[in-house]
Amino acid sequence: MSRDETAPTTRPEDSFSRPPRQSRSQQSFNKLLDAAFDLVSEAGSTAVTLADVVKRAGVSTGVVYARVKSKDDLLRALLTREISRLDEHSQQMLGSHISTGVNFEGYVARLLELLVEHLRSRAKALRVAIQIGYADPVAAEMGHAAYQKTEQRFVQRLLERRGDIRHPEPERAAARAFVIVYSVVGRHLGLHGERVTSPQWEWNELLEDLSTMIAHYLGRRPPA
């Protein structure tokens, strides 16, 4: 086997596909995954067929069945790849430095800015992941686990300012804050359906309003 034919290291998507025998096999499989990504983005997962993916990728049918047994396995391999990329970006964004000298409102605003930027910049991948999950319970479970990891990162960062949180249940309040932000931003991005058109100025106002609401929710003790 020549140097360029050496089998690549194991990738996240290999959990639902047979490992490649050489690098050229992986390159062809990457084309399949990229084609599947585009087709799911355009038409949804249920409308996509393996024949569509093969045609869009410009590879032979043999490439598909050399790596996966079915369309479900191909889409699960795609989902695994996208979740890995999303997780890496989420970790990078939500792990970003926030000045210790900023007040609580400023801290919340910066953390929300990081979360919203993660969701906005990865919106297409999130839509594809959600689409795949609609028709496949296994994929839906994978997606939910990934969602929970992002939620946990956000909650952990909020709880770094636990002393500023006056809610009697800080962990619960921080988790609810994530759900609120994700739900509102997800609707504007159309992650689960029709997209709400929002020019830049609306995004800035939305982020400001969300930051104010979340800071007040966390920083004020509820009435007895």
Domains of the chain: 3-73 (1.10.357.10), 79-219 (1.10.357.10)
pLDDT, residue 62, reads: 87
Residue 64: which residues within 8 A CB-CB, separation 6 or more?
32, 50, 53, 54, 74
pLDDT digits (tens, 9 = 90+) for 128-186: 999 999 989 999 999 999 999 999 999 999 999 999 999 999 999 999 999 999 999 99
If we measure between CA atoms, which residue out of 138, 148, 143 comes closest to residue 125?
Answer: 143
Separation in Å, CA 57 to CA 22, 52, 108, 144: 19, 9, 44, 29
pLDDT for the residue numbered 98? 94
CA separation for the pair 224, 217 (Å, rounded): 15
DSSP-H helix ranges across the chain: 23-43, 50-57, 61-67, 71-94, 104-121, 123-134, 137-158, 170-189, 200-219
**Cα distance from N-terminal residue to C-terminal residue, the chain:** 73
Contact between 158 and 152 under an 8 Å Cβ cutoff? The reply is: no
User: What was the pLDDT predicted at 193?
Assistant: 75
Q: Would the CA dihedral through 15, 19, 23, 27 be positive or negative?
A: negative
Give the HSE-up count for residue 146: Cα atoms under 13 Å, Cβ half-sphere.
23
**Predicted local distance difference test score (pLDDT) of residue 195:** 63
Record the pTM.
0.85
What pLDDT does 6 receive?
46
- On whether the CB atoms of residues 210 and 176 are closer than 8 A, the answer is no
Q: Which residues of the chain, if any, have pLDDT below 70?
A: 1-23, 194-201, 222-224
